[in-house]
Amino acid sequence: MKHDRTPARSFARPVARGLGALAFAGAGLLLSIAPAQAEGDPKASPPSPSAAPSDVAPPSSSASALPSASASASTSSAAVVKPPPRAAIGEPALVRGSSVPASMPALLRVAQPAIEACYRDAIANEGDLEPTISLRLRVVPPGNVAAAMINDSAEASSALRGCVRDAFAGLTVAKGLTAGFEALVPLAFTRSLDDGDIRPGSACNDTCDGAVDEALQEAVRLRAQLAAHCFRRPAASGEAKTLGGGTLELSLRIAPDGSVCGVSTMADPFARASLTSCLIEAMSAPFEVAPSTCASVDVPFTLKGT
């Protein structure tokens, strides 16, 4: 079983103590919440965007006894030419299932114009810099995206994250599948930056090690209690009807405005994609309380078995 700790960039995790456990009466489910633990696994690099032309600087003026009129006009009319904002879609990496179809990378490129439009809008509305996103796609037969979720992100505003999810939702990424699969798709965005550009308040930076105070701990705990309803949902077609015991552990990255920059799985023993998607969706909604800087929180769901 592969897990999805392959964000678009490397993210350092702080080591912190656990915060105890909660028991869900009648559900056989135990929940504990802790700031994220340090990791040592290597991380994949984001896709490399296609080469963009360098900014063209105006020619420098030089002293001349009698500069020609045409040369003066050419110099004064020269302007900086900036390359347009661009997005690159990387190679999908398998999370769950037998394999990634060979046709998937080409079919993913259908979304290229849409995600570049998302990026332009995010720059205009929130001032996005050069973000990266690791997108988790759940694909069902015959080859459509049933769920598009933000696994992880850096520098990406909530506007960009939401727009990118919508761009991939329902997209056909394979044909003739008889069994579903899940994959991570890395996205990288580039543009020309100006002096004074700053990270949007809804974005997380690379190192997400902010303090998790009691108010945020309680908010995450209450959210996780609500998310426990996912364990009571029936299995989707093709999934095991019963669940054995085990612990499914999610890791959340929470931005300074309370929005969630990504939810990834640290451990997922249940082999039920619909359950994992339900939990990630439930934990991805914004929080009313927020850390002062980007913070990571681990949420383990322990099931005794059904």
Q: Where are the alpha helices (DSSP H) in the chain?
A: 69-77, 104-108, 112-126, 158-168, 214-227, 273-283
The amino acid occupying position 104 is M
Q: Given the structure tokens 């135990």, which residue do they identify?
A: 30
Decide if 251 is inside a domain. yes
Decide if 265 is inside a domain. yes
Decide if 55 is inside a domain. no
Q: What is the pTM of this model?
A: 0.78
Decide if 245 is inside a domain. yes
> Per-residue pLDDT for the chain (306 aa), expressed as one digit of tens each?
555 654 444 333 333 333 444 444 334 566 666 677 544 343 445 665 544 443 434 444 444 444 455 555 554 455 678 889 999 999 999 999 989 999 999 999 999 999 999 999 999 999 999 999 999 999 999 999 999 999 999 999 999 999 999 999 999 999 999 999 999 999 999 999 988 899 999 999 988 999 999 999 999 999 999 999 999 999 988 888 888 889 999 999 999 999 999 999 999 999 899 999 999 999 999 999 999 999 999 999 999 865
Decide if 12 is inside a domain. no
Find the domain containing 228 and state its range: 21-36+83-303
**How many structural domains is the chain composed of?**
1
Decide if 9 is inside a domain. no
Decide if 48 is inside a domain. no
β-pairing verdict for 295-303 and 181-190: unpaired
Decide if 96 is inside a domain. yes
